[in-house]
Structures are given as C-alpha cells and as structure tokens.
Chain A
Amino acid sequence: MSMTDRVRRLRQNSLEAIPTISTERAELITEFYSRNLGLISPPVHRALAFQFLLENKTIWIGEGELIVGEKGPAPKATPTYPELCCHSLEDLDILDSREKIPFKVSPAARQVYAERIIPFWQGKSLRDLLFREMTPEWKAAYETGIFTEFMEQRAPGHTVLDDKIYHKGMLNFKEDIHRSLEALDFYNDPDAYDKQEELRAMDICASALICFAERHAEKARQLAEQTDDPQRRWELEQIATICSWVPAHAPRTFWEALQYYWFVHLGVTIELNTWDSFCPGHLDQHLYPFYMRGLAEGSLTRPQAEELLQCFWIKFNNQPAPPKVGVTAAESGTYTDFAQINLGGLKPDGSDAVNEVTYLLLDVIEEMRILQPSSSIQVSKKNPDQFIQRAAKIIRTGFGQPSIFNSDLIVQELVRQGKTVIDARCGGSSGCVEVGAFGKENYNLTGYFNIPKVLELTLNNGIDPLSGRKVGLETGDPAQFKTYEELFNAFTRQLNYLIDIKIRGNQVVERLYARYMPAPFLSILIDDCIRKGKDYHDGGARYNTSYIQGVGMGTITDSLAAIKYHVFDHHTLTLVDLLELLRTNFENHERERLLLSNKTPRYGNDDDYADKLMRSVFEVYFSAIDGRKNTKGGEYHINLLPTTVHVYFGSVMGATPDGRKAGMPLSEGVSPVQGADRHGPTAVIKSVAKMDHVRTGGTLLNQKFTPQLLQDDAGINRLVQLVRTYFKLDGHHIQFNVVDADTLREAQKHPDQYRDLIVRVAGYSDYFCDLSKTLQDEIIARTEQKSW
C-alpha cells in the first residue's frame, strides 16, 4: 500500500482547501436567463443553459492532476443554483460565519449576490414557486417538523449510473437520440412534439459535454507547452489526448474510463444540483475489463491503476455539497454529497462479482481516508468471507467506511418493486442506504417523516404542543381511550392524514420539476429517456420510485411500549398522569422518567413485547405509503433512514413516553433508542430483523463498537459472522462506528487535535468535529457494545 508524492500532495491540498462560495455559476445562469430567447420549450431552454455554462465556466487543471475537471472554478469553490433556490444576504452571512460547515463568502461574491443575483431571482426561483403552491395544511406540517421536503432546495437526485458509458460515447448517444427523433410519429402520437423538444435538448447537451472536454484538452495542451518538466509534459499531453477522445467516444483504457465518468459526474451536477449521491455505482465491475486488458497488454500496472484511482477519489473530495438554507441546513449539515461507490455484490448473471479491482479499491479507500466518495460493500452469500474480512479491517480503523449491504436482499427488494431480476442485480444502494436500479431508475427521496411526532399529535388531539397550532386530525381526547387499541387506531388515522398531506405536496413538486426544470443531460444517461423521448423528471426513466423516509422507529416503538405496558397492561400510570409528565418535561419527576425508561420492555433487546409494536408501526407506515401512484408512472415506497434529521425532528418535539426529554434527538434509522439496547449486538440484530426489510427500499442500522472488539483476527471473524447472520435474517444494511466514547469526549474537548476523526453518522461518515454539539453528544450516547 502506498501513496505517491503526487497523490500525497493532491490529497493534502484537497484536505486543506477552504470551501468557498463561487458565484461563477450563479452569474452565468443569471446572464443566460436575462437573455430574451423568445418563445422556447423548457427542455431546450435548459439544454441551452447547460451549454452556456459549459462553454463559459472556468477550466481548472491542477498541478500534478491526472483526472481533470472541477464543478466550480477551483477545488472546493462551490457553485450555487439560484434558479432553484436563491441564497439571501443573510444566508450568505450565516454560511460565512457559522462554526460548523462554513463556506467562505468573499466581499466580492457578496456584492455580486446583492447587485445581480438576488434582484434577478428573489421571489422567482423554483423554491419560491414551490412554497406558493403548497397548501396551508402542508405548510403547517412542514413548519412544525412533521416532515421535510427534499426538493425545496435541490433537484430530484439519488440516481446512480450503470455501465453504459463504458460502452458508448456521447456520439453514440447522439445516434440513439437521432434514431428516436426519426421514429417520432406525428400522426398518431399526440406527444410527438414534446418528445421532439426533449430529444433536441438531449442532443444539445451531449454536444455540450464533448465541447467541455475539448476545452480541457486545449487547456492541457497549453500547460504542456508551458512546463519545463518532461514528465509533466507527457502527462498533460496524455490528458489532452484523453479529453479529446472521451466523452465523445467510448473509453479504451482504464484512465479514459475514469476521466469519462468524471466528465459525466460534472455534467450531472452542473446541470442541476442533483440531490446526493450521483456516482458510478459498481465501479469494480465497470473498471475490471479495462484493468485486465491494461495488465495483459502491458499498458497498465497495478500501481498505476492505484494512483489513477487515488486521483479520482480526490476529485470527489474537492466537491462539497451545495450549501443549503433554512430548515434543511439544520437537518443535514455536512460537506458530503453522499456518492457511495458499491463494491462486490452480484454480476448481472447472478454470480459473485468480487474481483481484483474490488480489492484494489479497498486498498484505495484505506489509503485515502477521505470523506468523499463514500463506499459500501455489497455482500451476497456468494461472496467470499475474505472480502468482508478485508473490509472489516478498514472498518476497524474507525473511519466509518465502508458500510455493509445485503446484496441478495436488495435484489429481492427491487424485484418486489417490479424490476426485472437482471435490472435488480445491476442495482444497489446509494446515498445513505436507499436502493435503486442503477442507470434505469429515477428514485427519489422526497422527505423525512417524523413518526414519533404523529404520536405526539395523537396524544394532543391534533394540536402541536410546542407551537399550539392545530396541524393534525382531531382523533379524540386521549383521556377517553379505554384500550391500547383505541389509542393505536387514533395514531393510525393521524398518520394516514399527515401522509396524505405529504403526498399531495409531492405530486405538485414532481410536476414543477417536470415542467420547469427538466434535466436533458441526465436524461441521456438513464434508460429509457432517449427511447421514450421523455425527461428524467417526467417519467422518462424505466422505473420511477418516490420514497418517504420514516424516522424514529426506536423512539416510537419504545413510546408505544411504555404506554401499553404502564398505562394499559400494568396500570402503573394513567394516561392523564403520563400526559402531565410529558407536558412538564418530567420536571421534578426523574423517578417516573426512569420508570418509563428503565422498566419498560424496549426495542433492541430481542423482546417480543416491544418488537411486536415495532412491527405494528411498520405495517401502518408501509400501508399508508407503499404502492400509491406518483406522477411519473411509478409508485411510492418506504425506507427508514434519518441522515441527521433525527436531531432536528427531536428538537421540535416535547418529551416522549419512552423517557426521552424534550428537544433531545430521536432514535436514528431502525437502530434502537440510544442506550436502550442492553443485550449486545446479537439481540439488536434479532430485534431489527423482525422488521420485514424486503418491503422497504432501505433501512439503516448503526452499531457502535469499541476498538477492542475488533483488535484481533477472532474479533474480525466474529464481525463477519455477525454480519452474515444479520443478512441471513434478511437485514438490509449495517454499519459500525469503531471508536470509544472516551476518545469522542476528548475530541469534543480538543477539536484541533482530532480534526481527522471521521465517524459514522447515519448512512454516511463525517468529521466528528464538524458535527453539532447535539449530534456529537448523541453519537457518544449510542450504546457502546462492550464484551469481555
């Protein structure tokens, strides 16, 4: 394992680069939208905007780089997207000065925003339109923290690429587009004209990406002429040759394959700030033919491949996620943009996909130890133990990567949703834990849903106790509930009412994007947009899924268990007493709080009393959402993950019946409440596996391990078997935070000494010192699984 001087320098530069707000994109897009192009269809308008951006943005080739191209004008110079969401001056000041995840805003940038960007876009961005279109019920629920809305600041994302770009250049895609154009039937197809406009837009975008690469080739040739270093001159000439070949044509070499992907990545994320996670997917499978051919022909060595991959990794790390404003800034404060490279798993034919490049990539992940891209291993029963052992040795180093997914289960989940088996095997996980058919699906997280808040509203007859606003349904005076079933029925009705509000909003948001923000470039890349002549946002993809992510499964289960156990089964408390305790946040009633917290059967202990309640909540949530139609010809499905929103959702809630105090974080993913699991990881796994993961599109289980549990081979092997057992029980995903609580407390006290401490947050890793104090405390509190 090694890092060349070049890589060490590039990595260091990337780590040290300070994230800034770049106004270049905002200025260009504003200039473009200021032009009066006359009447023009939205897809073509967006395509021309894309072309204008790529023709005019700054081309950056850094010293020593082998993979070239930046989203902004320089590493970590982060573009903004005012047509979607226009930052105010106050937003910029907050970004500039906030302690965590800051973005430096220069006085010049501030001035550009004040004089040109804000006057042009204020009140006119998609975000403004979106909020205008939402109903008062939606706004009330949104403002009181019942759900969030992903698309208020970023375009629908979460898609991942399959292998098509390794076989086809943009010129080939243009041929496909022209074939579709020629096949349009204006006599019989009423949508023929709309399709023509969409296909024309795609054609413009394909050409634009080729020109963008050519600009890099020119820049490389200029730099080659200027340098005195013969080695660097040779490299720059290579870069120029490569950029002239890809993305116009299919790649021929390992290097070309990586550079091609990178241009595509830039194209997708410059066109729209696609939410999270756009990434190459099964990179080991995609690169394998290029790697083997290179080795066989003698044109590539393992160290060369390794260096190219390391350079590729650094490119991801140079792109902080576009900064957000308002509620979403609090819900997900991170620089990471959730690209999750999948390793291992299954080939399309269903055989073991682990290959030499898989192990090469694991080496790269361990050496690079950077935030982005994230990585996961896809574990099938067909994969060798050695593969998981190798990954476990990286997990042991405490850097939170890679996370671990059940590849066989993901296939089942996708097939249940209606994908073909082959398309399902080509799929995988992306973002945090959500599944999709790579290269063929528009799957979207539409917003988090605060399940414990539904109980809070139920216990207050539809009133949000924090704001005093009536946001829910009047499901009855809780004091009148005679049985647990009555209470649970009220909860069920409340949940359905609020989900309906969320879905109604979603249906509008989807149409807003379809109509005003088509993504013709992304549409080239996702089957079957070209064939159908339809945009990615408008049902062009082969599969279209809208997810609503449930949050707080542990908190809601334990809360219901506390009510059932103490109020209805054992009569230790009346519901009225309990409500009073919650209302007063257990003030002067610590003993009663401990009764609820310590003397209740709780989720995560393999105790059927609590686990059955978890299953009942799952069924209610599933039934409220799964199978409902979205606007793209697809369906709604559920998944259960929080990113960091369990902190925000906790902050808008009063005390809960599980003994949680007001304002404290909710449980995350499908993990038990922090500290409620008292019987170790096998009991947690047994509890969590009682959920029917097959009917989700992803669940997230976090386990915190102390380093001692993994220090020797026995520890590593037991971990492998623990994971294998969870997956045999049809668990979806598990990740391990390997760090002891004392270390975390030290890091909290002395952040400067722990700048490099990366921890698993929730489906992604982040620098511990960049997390908010609340989230830091929450991570420390998560059960430390000790065994000796």
Chain B
Amino acid sequence: MVEKALFLKNSPLQNADVIQGIVFDIRKYSIHDGPGIRTAVFLKGCPLSCWWCHNPEGQSTKIEIIKRENRCIHCGECLSICKHNAITQIGDQILLDRAKCTLCGECVEECYAEALELIGKRMSVEEVIQEIKADLPFYEQSNGGVTFSGGEPFLQPQFLHGLLIGCHQLGIHTAVDTCGYASWSTIDSLRQDIDLFLYDIKVLDDTLHRKYTGVSNKLILDNLRRLSKLGAQIIIRFPLIPGINDNEEHVRQLANLVKSLPQVNEMDILPYHSSAINKYNSLGLEYSLEGLLSPSDEHLQEIAHILEESGLNVKIGG
C-alpha cells in the first residue's frame, strides 16, 4: 500500500488501479527495441492488418483463445469443463468452435498442459507498472527502459497514458513502437511522456498501402511530419518485405522522405521472416504470404547501402 500511495502522489493520474487495458505479452530482456535492456509491453489491438504482421495475436482488440497442438496431451478435461459446447472431439482431434466460445477461460485454467491459452489479459496500469518495475536495476545499468508495442499502443490511449506517466514517475525511459495510425490529438496529448518513437513506415504508395495494410498512409505520414517538426525523438522502422516494398525506387523515395524530416536520421530495417506462421495457424487465421522467403543478407546490405548513401544511420534488425 505504501508503494501505491507513492505511485499516486503528485500524479496527474489519480486512478492507476482503475484504468485498465488489454496486454498480450510482457517480454523482458528485449534488446532490439530501443536503447539498453528493455521490457516490451505489447498492447492488444491494431487498426492495421498487415500481410506480414508477425504479431497477429495483437491485431484484434479482443481477448482471444488459442490452442497449441504440440502441447496437448489429450486428457479431455477441457471437453467436460466447457459449458458452452465450444470444444468437441472428433477422433483424436480436439476442436475449438470460436463462434460458441465466450472466452470465460475455465478450460484454460484446467489445461495443465498449457495447450489452451488466452491471448490478452486485462490488466490495470498499476499491475503493469509492478511488472515493469521488477527490472529497474537493468534499465538503470544499461540506460534502458520500457517499449510499448503491439498491436498499436495508441489504440488504448488512456491506458497508455497511465503507463507512460507511471514509468516517468519511476524515472524509466519510455519508447512507443507505433504504426502512426492514430488521431493527431491522441498522439499530441501523449507525446510529452514519450522519450522515443519507433515509427513504422511500410509502403509509400497509398494504393499499395491500402492493399497490404488495410488503411491509407496519409494520416501516418502527416503525424510523422508533425512529430518531427515538434522535435520528437524518432527512429524510423522499415519492415522489409521481399516483392512488396524492397524495390530500389521505393527505398530511394523512403530515404528522401526520411531526409526531409527535421532531426530524424536513424532507420532500422526489420527483415521479413516467416516464423509467425504457426501463430496464424493457432489463431485459426489465414496467412497471405505463405512461402515467402526472408531477404538474403546481400539484398539487405544493398538496401542498407542505398539508405546510408543518403546520409541515414541504418541498422539491420533494429
């Protein structure tokens, strides 16, 4: 209780234990999402649905249920526990009917093999801050901090705001990994508590952007220009997807865009990898890029070279 009082003291935010959000992962020793040793907090829900998304479990704003086949020991306990007949057995296969499932979580509780799992957990600001705080000695030693990622953190603005303030009260550096698709007023009201933006730019052509992500990039680019004019710390992150955004002309256009932004000259290339395909299967989602290979090292170097030529500071892998 003492700690709680301390946390609330002098806070513009008076209800850290009340404000809640949905978090789908908290990953410690995150070393490629901003400076130092960090904790990455993944907030659920994203306005985009990129074909290559490697966190598809972060797209829906709702809690979801997944089943990991390789862990299931076929004890059958979930069949008897489910009151909604959402779990059935055909032969050896245990099937999940998401239409009937109410996400009550009772089967997950009883699944000792951890094959059934809820993706997303409702947490209060205070609960998340307690988790973050555990690694304080590591942040202090390494000049690290916390990175809010997702999903799209700005989709839960009140929750994010509470978390950012909570971090700053503890002197913890904050970064937000964003797709930039949020209203300017939302970003503007939170930006004072964000020490670093990890800002994703995917495709510059708006038609293609709509095709691959589901939304226009106009708002994204406008927000980026405004943020940079206001002096925000920004690192551009560029997910490199072979055949989609890796042609030389596009990369040059991207370089020009970034060069035109005041005070931004750092760029991370995030090479595509297909390791998320199992997540799509577990979630019962389709994967649009089946069979696509990761870019070769040489290709990555070529692209890094183009970007570096225009004076950008480039890192591969962030």
Which of B113, B134, B141 has the most chain A CB atoms inside 10 A of its CB?
B141
Chain A min CB distance to B90 (Å): 21
Contact A682 B73 (CB under 8 A): no
- A729 (CB) vs chain B CBs: closest residue: B137
> B28, B37, B77, B144: which contacts A683 (Cβ < 8 A)?
B28
CA distance A722 to B317 in the complex (A): 20
B138 within 8 A of partner (CB) = yes
A680 within 8 A of partner (CB) = yes
CA distance A345 to B284 in the complex (A): 55
Main secondary structure of the interface of A (DSSP, over half): helix
Interface string of A209-245 (1 = CB under 8 A from B): 0000000000000000000000000000000000000
Selecting from A408-416, A546-554, A591-599, the interface stretch reads: A591-599
Interface residues of B in 12-30 (CB under 8 A from A): 27-30
CA distance A599 to B134 in the complex (A): 21
A188 within 8 A of partner (CB) = no
Residues of B within 8 A of A683 (CB): 28, 134
Query: Taking beta carbons and an 8 Å cutoff, which residues of B are in contact with A?
Result: 27-32, 36-37, 73, 75, 77, 112-114, 134-135, 137-138, 141-142, 144, 315, 317
CA distance A681 to B142 in the complex (A): 14
Contact A682 B29 (CB under 8 A): yes
Q: Which 9 A-B pairs have the closest CB atoms?
A: A721-B142, A594-B112, A680-B29, A718-B31, A725-B141, A680-B28, A595-B112, A591-B75, A682-B28
CA distance A591 to B113 in the complex (A): 7
- B273 (CB) vs chain A CBs: closest residue: A788
Residues of A within 8 A of B30 (CB): 787
- A594 (CB) vs chain B CBs: closest residue: B112
Selecting from A117-125, A707-715, A733-741, the interface stretch reads: A707-715
Chain B min CB distance to A547 (Å): 29
- A685 (CB) vs chain B CBs: closest residue: B138
Residues of B within 8 A of A590 (CB): 73, 75
Interface size class of A (residues with CB under 8 A): 20 to 34
- A659 (CB) vs chain B CBs: closest residue: B112
10 new A-B pairs (CB below 8 Å) besides A599-B112, A681-B29? A591-B77, A594-B113, A682-B138, A686-B135, A717-B142, A721-B36, A721-B144, A787-B29, A787-B30, A788-B32
CA distance A679 to B30 in the complex (A): 11
Residues of B within 8 A of A594 (CB): 73, 112-114
Contact B112 A722 (CB under 8 A): no
A785 within 8 A of partner (CB) = yes
Contact A718 B36 (CB under 8 A): yes
- B143 (CB) vs chain A CBs: closest residue: A721
CA distance A679 to B27 in the complex (A): 7
> A595, A606, A787: which contacts B27 (Cβ < 8 A)?
A787
Contact A722 B32 (CB under 8 A): no
Interface string of A40-81 (1 = CB under 8 A from B): 000000000000000000000000000000000000000000
Interface string of A668-679 (1 = CB under 8 A from B): 000000000001
Residues of B within 8 A of A718 (CB): 29, 31, 36-37, 142
Cross-chain pairs A/B with CB under 8 angstroms, 11 sampled = A590-B73, A591-B75, A598-B114, A599-B112, A681-B29, A686-B134, A709-B31, A712-B315, A725-B138, A725-B141, A728-B141
Chain A min CB distance to B103 (Å): 20
Contact B73 A722 (CB under 8 A): no
A470 within 8 A of partner (CB) = no
> B28, B31, B32, B138: which contacts A679 (Cβ < 8 A)?
B28
Contact A682 B37 (CB under 8 A): yes
Chain A min CB distance to B109 (Å): 9
Chain B min CB distance to A136 (Å): 44
- A718 (CB) vs chain B CBs: closest residue: B31
Contact B73 A680 (CB under 8 A): no
A347 within 8 A of partner (CB) = no
Chain B min CB distance to A709 (Å): 7
Contact A721 B138 (CB under 8 A): yes
Which of B31, B75, B113, B144 has the most chain A CB atoms inside 10 A of its CB?
B31
Interface residues of A in 610-659 (CB under 8 A from B): none
Chain A min CB distance to B52 (Å): 15
Contact A722 B75 (CB under 8 A): no
Chain A min CB distance to B189 (Å): 31
Contact A722 B37 (CB under 8 A): yes
- A715 (CB) vs chain B CBs: closest residue: B31
Which of B73, B135, B315 has the most chain A CB atoms inside 10 A of its CB?
B135
A511 within 8 A of partner (CB) = no
- B36 (CB) vs chain A CBs: closest residue: A721
A724 within 8 A of partner (CB) = yes
Contact B134 A598 (CB under 8 A): no
Residues of A within 8 A of B144 (CB): 721
- A689 (CB) vs chain B CBs: closest residue: B137
Contact A591 B73 (CB under 8 A): yes
Contact A591 B142 (CB under 8 A): no
Contact A725 B27 (CB under 8 A): no
